[in-house]
Amino acid sequence: MKKSQLRWVPALVVPAVVIAGAVAIPSMANADVQLPSKSAAGIVALAEKSVGTSFSGSVTQTADLGLPQVPTSALGSSAKSGVDGVLAQLTGTHKAKVYVKGTTASRIQTLDDLAERDVTRNGDSVWAYDSKANTALHVTLPSGSSAESAPSTATLPTPTEVAQKALDAIGRYTTVATSSNVLVAGQKAYQITLTPKDSTTLVGSVTLAVDATTGVPLKAVIDARGQAAPAYSVAFTSIDYSTPSADTFAFSPPKGATVTDKTVPSARSHAKHPGALSQGDATANAERKASEKAARAEARPTVIGSGWSSIIAATLPTGALTSLSEGSGSSSQLLDQVLKPVAGGKVVQTSLLSVFLADSGKVYVGSVSAADLEAAVAAQK
């Protein structure tokens, strides 16, 4: 990972974890867990070496962001799959099972109220299935999309070097330290704590636990300033390092399911031999590429500010604001409760982050107060 990428770790870690709806529970601490001494850089290096490790396990999500509780049974399947479903995922408790085989096979089963949402990847094939709606999305990735050309061994940094660069990159904004060892899902684990130096961020600290043997991250706890209970935590309740069977990743949609197929084009799928283009074709092709480039630039998230008080700005998909305002049932009532109308849009502040939905169709997310977020948005005009 490049230094330019590592620089944004404090800005991205909290919004990314929360919006994605990561699954979590607090871990079991054990003061008697004895392990060889290891530095913060050594712990990060251990985690870096775990990439590609196969395992299966159970996790449970618990979030305490100060949002009203939303019972998933009150949500329709369409609501659960949209923006309203994200809000539901950020309240209460949710359970899931995770299966990983190397770097190209994985499966996540989320269970709520006897319903199941299943995302399975097997090589270039990805399935997303919702049992309540009985709908399935099948995405075909470009052939070999996960493969990367191997760098020269002369320039390949060691895991320790990568870890040290990561710590150096965030050192300007963060105090990094080791903390007491813990027992997570029956595994002995090292802990490392990242504490923001910025007093304006809502994040109090982030504590990570790494399996002392395999290096697999087993837990991440995010504490909010002024809140005793963790605002968000990620941990395994059980984990098995046996390689899951191939059948685990062989998914077929149930009879009667509505299936949507999509193919992700490769970079060369639309390419033509230069000599085959007429002057008119070449002009149209250039205009199309320029238009696509502009659209990608417009949709690409940007970062405002630096460090833990950074704000991520992104353009919402067309119709997203309308869908948000036309939610149904208790989900719509929740939105009315948490979204506060302000100049230029609506804003909500949780214990961990604030979100500003602009009337222009943009969304701004940051681990700062709503007032600071509004001020930052106003400064962009």
Question: pLDDT tens across 62-74, in order?
Answer: 788 877 655 544 4
Q: Does residue 251 sit in the same domain as residue 341?
A: no
Q: Does residue 90 sit in the same domain as residue 211?
A: yes
Q: DSSP characters for 162-201? A: HHHHHHHHHTTTEEEEEEEEEEETTEEEEEEEEEES-TTS
15 falls within a domain: no
373 falls within a domain: yes
Do residues 138 and 261 lie in contact, with contact meaning Cβ atoms separated by under 8 Å?
yes
Q: What angle do CA 298, 300, 305 make, to 5 degrees?
A: 105
Q: DSSP characters for 285-322? A: HHHHHHHHHHHHHHHS-EEESSGGG-EEEEEPPTTHHH
End-of-domain residue from the set 210, 240, 262: 262
Do residues 353 and 15 lie in contact, with contact meaning Cβ atoms separated by under 8 Å?
yes
DSSP bridge pairs for 188: 183
Q: Does residue 315 sit in the same domain as residue 226?
A: no
Do residues 183 and 189 lie in contact, with contact meaning Cβ atoms separated by under 8 Å?
yes
Distance of CA 76 to the CA centre of its chain: 24
Question: pLDDT tens across 295-330, in order?
Answer: 555 557 899 998 899 999 988 766 655 555 555 555
Q: Is the pLDDT of residue 6 over 60?
A: no
Q: Does residue 225 sit in the same domain as residue 328?
A: no
Residue 323 burial (C-beta neighbours within 10 Å; 0-12, 13-18, 19+): middle
Residue 175: both structure tokens together: 């105090």
CATH code: domain of residue 198 = 2.50.20.10
pTM of the model: 0.71
Q: How far apart are CA 324 and CA 332, in angstroms?
A: 8
- The percentage of the chain sitting over the pLDDT mark of 90, rounded to a whole number, equals 36
18 falls within a domain: no
Q: Does residue 258 sit in the same domain as residue 310?
A: no
Q: 9 CB contacts (<8 Å, ≥6 apart)?
A: 166, 169, 170
Q: Does residue 101 sit in the same domain as residue 212?
A: yes
**146-164 burial, b if ≥16 CB within 10 A, otherwise e?**
eeeeeeeeeeeeebbebbb
> Using CA of residue 76, residue 78, residue 79, residue 80, what is the dihedral sign?
positive
Question: pLDDT tens across 321-344, in order?
Answer: 555 555 555 555 656 677 889 998
C-beta neighbour count of 86 within 10 angstroms? 14
294 falls within a domain: no
Q: Does residue 305 sit in the same domain as residue 246?
A: no
> Which of 61, 47, 49, 55 has its CA nearest to residue 105?
55
Q: How many Å from the N-terminal Cα to the C-terminal Cα in the chain? A: 33
Q: Which residue has the tokens 């995770």?
A: 98
Q: How far apart are CA 219 and CA 229, in angstroms?
A: 16
Q: Does residue 110 sit in the same domain as residue 195?
A: yes
Mean per-residue pLDDT, 201-210: 91
Q: Is the pLDDT of residue 210 over 70?
A: yes
32 falls within a domain: no
218 falls within a domain: yes
Residue 196: both structure tokens together: 């923001």
Q: What 8-state DSSP symbol labels residue 66?
A: S
Q: Does residue 103 sit in the same domain as residue 166?
A: yes
Q: How far apart are CA 277 and CA 279, in angstroms?
A: 7
Do residues 43 and 190 lie in contact, with contact meaning Cβ atoms separated by under 8 Å?
yes
Q: Does residue 168 sit in the same domain as residue 244?
A: yes
Q: What 8-state DSSP symbol labels residue 251?
A: -
pLDDT recorded at residue 347: 92
Domain count across the chain: 2
Q: Is the pLDDT of residue 36 over 80?
A: yes
19 falls within a domain: no
Q: Does residue 241 sit in the same domain as residue 306?
A: no
Q: Which domain holds residue 216?
A: 40-73+80-142+159-262
Q: How far apart are CA 236 and CA 265, in angstroms?
A: 35
33 falls within a domain: no
Q: Does residue 105 sit in the same domain as residue 169?
A: yes
Q: Is the pLDDT of residue 44 over 90?
A: no
Q: Is the pLDDT of residue 151 over 90?
A: no
Do residues 103 and 146 lie in contact, with contact meaning Cβ atoms separated by under 8 Å?
yes
CATH code: domain of residue 317 = 3.30.310
pLDDT recorded at residue 116: 82
Question: pLDDT tens across 182-204, in order?
Answer: 999 999 999 999 899 999 999 99
- The percentage of the chain sitting over the pLDDT mark of 70, rounded to a whole number, equals 64
Q: Is the pLDDT of residue 277 over 60?
A: no
Q: Which residue has the tokens 């949402």?
A: 117
